Amino acid sequence: MKQIAFISGIGTDVGKTVVSAIVTQALAANYWKPVQAGDLDNTDSIKVARLCDETVHVLPEKYRLKTPMSPHCAAEMDKVEIRSSDFEVPDFDAKLIIEGAGGLMVPLHNDGLLLIDILADKKWPVILVSRHYLGSINHTLLSVDVLNKRSIPILGIIYVGEKHESTEKIISTVSKIPVLGRIPIVDEVNKEFVQTEAIKMIDANTVTTKLNQFYGK
């Protein structure tokens, strides 16, 4: 059975792309980022391809928007309309990791279409990436709450950075969401780092177990 997981962050610049690369590598999966806004010479798809080995297949983006802005603005500037019907997944083998653009409430169209509307329709199970900073408890719990209210399944949380026990304890107590792993912050993210962290994730077996449970395998 084919398996899909959607990776979203509690906000921008929390380490979502690095986590996506590590999870994709650990699962020897396909990677897809449907919407890329800006930085077209060094897209997240290019970064993931550079960080992973040949077992990973990177699928082309659906939208390559020129301006590094919220997708609804970038699309308008490019005279492009992002529609929910455009999020049919491309062909893939076995497993697919989909990386979102920014957080869950990112607008995709001026008519009010949000990223979470796509998730509510597709019911792709979500891996939420969180990073500790002042306000991150609120951002993490709000993300979990809006996913729950839209009946979107959550596989778990992956933290980026050092453990903060009191923060993670209250998030777990309130959200009841399992922790799938932790990715350290390093000065340089390279292929060796991704391979090392992927091996740790394989050994922990948390992501694979949750995916198999979700898909009834």
For the chain, list the domains and their CATH numbers. 3-214 (3.40.50.300)
Q: Is the pLDDT of residue 44 over 90?
A: yes
**Rounded average pLDDT over 173-178:** 97
**Rounded average pLDDT over 120-129:** 98
Q: Is the pLDDT of residue 217 over 80?
A: no
Banded pLDDT at 119 (limits 50, 70, 90): very high
Q: For 114, which DSSP code?
A: B
Predicted pLDDT at 148: 98
Q: Is the pLDDT of residue 23 over 90?
A: yes
Among 2, 16, 33, 79, which one carries the catalytic annotation?
33
User: Are the beta carbons of 16 and 102 closer than 8 angstroms?
Assistant: no
Q: Is the pLDDT of residue 93 over 90?
A: no
**Rounded average pLDDT over 31-59:** 96
**Rounded average pLDDT over 37-59:** 96
Predicted pLDDT at 213: 95
- Listing DSSP states for 131-155 in one string gives E-STTHHHHHHHHHHHHHHTT--EE
More confident residue, 86 or 33: 33
180 vs 129: CA distance, rounded Å: 10
User: What does the mean pLDDT of the chain come to?
Assistant: 96
Predicted pLDDT at 1: 79
Predicted pLDDT at 102: 85
Banded pLDDT at 58 (limits 50, 70, 90): very high
User: Are the beta carbons of 87 and 118 closer than 8 angstroms?
Assistant: yes
- State phi, psi for 141 to the nearest 5 degrees: -70, -35
Whether 33 is a known active-site residue: answer yes
Helix (H) or strand (E) run with residue 183 in it: strand 179-183
Residue positions counted in the chain: 217
Q: For 86, which DSSP code?
A: G
